[in-house]
Amino acid sequence: MSLKVKEMDWMANMTELNHLGKALLIQPQKMMGVLDTLFSAQNYYSDNPMLSLLMGSKNEQTIDGLEWEWDMKGADTRPLVIVENIIPTNTTPGKFKSTFQIKLDENWFIPGDVITPGAADKRYQVRIVDDPQRQGDGWVYTVRLMSDDDNFFLAPTYLTPGTQWSKLFSNYEEGAEQSGSTTFSTTMSFRNRLTKYRKQYKITDYASTAVLAVKIPDKTGKLHDSWIRYAEVEFLRQWYRELERAIWYSRSSNTVIGSTGRPVRSSAGLEEQLEDSHREPYSVLTAKLIEEYLMDIFYSRKKPGEGRNIKAFTGEYGMLQFHRAVTDTLAKKGFLTEVSNNFVEKASSPYHTNALSFGYQFTKYKMANGATLELIHNPLYDDREINSEIDPITGFPVESQKFTFLDFGGDANSSNIKLKKKKDGDAFGYVCGMYGPYGPSSKASTPVHAGDYYEMHIEAHKGIEITDPTRCGQLYLARN
């Protein structure tokens, strides 16, 4: 598909039948897909990167209702946490092979389980000898150190509230009748809803008559010209920009009332869902900071080399910061000195017969352990219309220096990021007066008002899902 502007008036061969608006009215579902492709952008490096990634792909899903739920499965095991040191006067717990008590937040462990506070010194292991007993806000376990040394005892620091204890294994004696514990995770359920978005415009009979030719394929793949007014093109460009804004910034609400007296049901956009992700402030961006930050997200969740492919959405100044961070790291290692000649090319110049050009930009980072980070420009972060908070150091919007890390990975049939839409939820129509989208009203038309103008209305139901927000995150600028 393609668009090309033609400055021309309506002519006889521009009939209603080959007009895009007429095609929309006759085949709205098919033609809305055409508009999605034309105006959301052809690739995610353009004005609406998220729509470009998701619209028309397998990651755009149609639902029947206005709400949907999804489950996120947690880990099957997790450490338990010390709630209280119940015998603070005991400074040598476990000495002389004695039993002692620890208070944990859950009763998941049972007699025979060997647990550890996770110290690098793995001598600190205790075996549970009795069933846990409920005590206030936790469970008291009676334990004994796995040691034959009378003088060995547990360092009291491991009984400090907040210390994590994990199970290693379970061991038993000859003729044992007990067995070790097994834990299963429960799933967390999330819910989001679709939001109804609408937009309109009015155009008079004397408005611009510039038109665009739109190449639309038929079922055989052959392209045909259809026509659309320039005013409608600008309307649709703004419409898709607003949808992109909604996907990122929409806030969940169910109590705001519209003009009809009914609630305006608003969904949670990406930014709100990312509040449950790994959000960290930064003041100076470095390659080391990025690597260690992403390590926090993926450490022990995916094996090294198993496709840690992350997309980072940022503004133009963020792209510059990223380039400087990677360049600075390479320069300190002497790498750029060795390969700098690869960045020098011949250039045409009126100032010198042997002019050269030098330059490059890093937009992708292949990190250790098989992780890759691809940078994507997000124009919303640069939009001064909606981002007026300026960083006093750089003079650019604070939002332009934000990095949003989204993991689009998933199983073979599903992405971690999904766009939802309502079945038969897209609508489009004209409200015509004495003048319509195809020119003056005729005997065959039925104007609904006497004005020399017509209105165009469009609506859609959209929502976004981050299935597992813990696989995503943000680095945001925070000056000290």
Q: What is the pLDDT of residues 285-321, one digit of tens each?
A: 998 898 888 888 877 666 776 666 788 999 999 999 9
330-341 residue pLDDT tens: 777 665 555 565
The pLDDT of residue 431 is above 50: yes
**Count of residues making up the chain:** 480
Across 413-439, b (16+ Cβ under 10 Å) vs e yields eebbbbbbbbeebbebebbbbebbbbe
The pLDDT of residue 79 is above 90: no
- Hey, what are 102's tokens? 């620890």
Which of 226, 222, 85, 237 lies closest to 162 in space, CA to CA? 85
Report the distance separating Cα 330 and Cα 337, nearest Å.
9
Secondary structure element (H or E) that encloses residue 221, with its range: none
When comparing pLDDT for 74 and 301, which is higher?
301
Q: What is the mean pLDDT of residues 242-255?
A: 92
- Are 372 and 310 in contact by the 8 Å Cβ rule? The answer is yes
Report the distance separating Cα 437 and Cα 14, nearest Å.
12
- The sign of the torsion formed by the CA atoms of 171, 173, 174, 177 equals negative
Report the distance separating Cα 192 and Cα 203, nearest Å.
36
The pLDDT of residue 377 is above 60: yes
Of 24-33, 89-98, 292-301, 432-441, the one with minimum mean pLDDT is 24-33
Question: Helix (H, G, I), strand (E, B), or coil: what is residue 308?
Answer: strand
- Are 327 and 321 in contact by the 8 Å Cβ rule? The answer is no
- Are 203 and 453 in contact by the 8 Å Cβ rule? The answer is yes
- Hey, what are 363's tokens? 């937009």
158-172 residue pLDDT tens: 999 999 998 888 988
Q: Quote the crossing angle between the two packed helices 316-332 and 287-298, to the nearest 10°.
A: 100
Domain ranges of the chain: 40-74+201-210+230-480, 80-170
- Are 294 and 365 in contact by the 8 Å Cβ rule? The answer is no
Residue 334's pLDDT is: 62
- Hey, what are 354's tokens? 């042997």
Report the distance separating Cα 272 and Cα 94, nearest Å.
48
Report the distance separating Cα 436 and Cα 430, nearest Å.
8
Q: Which residues contact 205 (CB under 8 A, 6 or more apart)?
A: 434, 435, 440, 452, 453
The pLDDT of residue 76 is above 60: no
CA gyration radius, the chain: 31
DSSP alpha helices (H): ranges in 197-260?
230-249
Give pTM, 2 decimals. Answer: 0.75
- Are 92 and 153 in contact by the 8 Å Cβ rule? The answer is yes
- Hey, what are 331's tokens? 């320069």
Residue 337's pLDDT is: 55
* Count of H-run helices and E-run strands, the chain: 8, 27
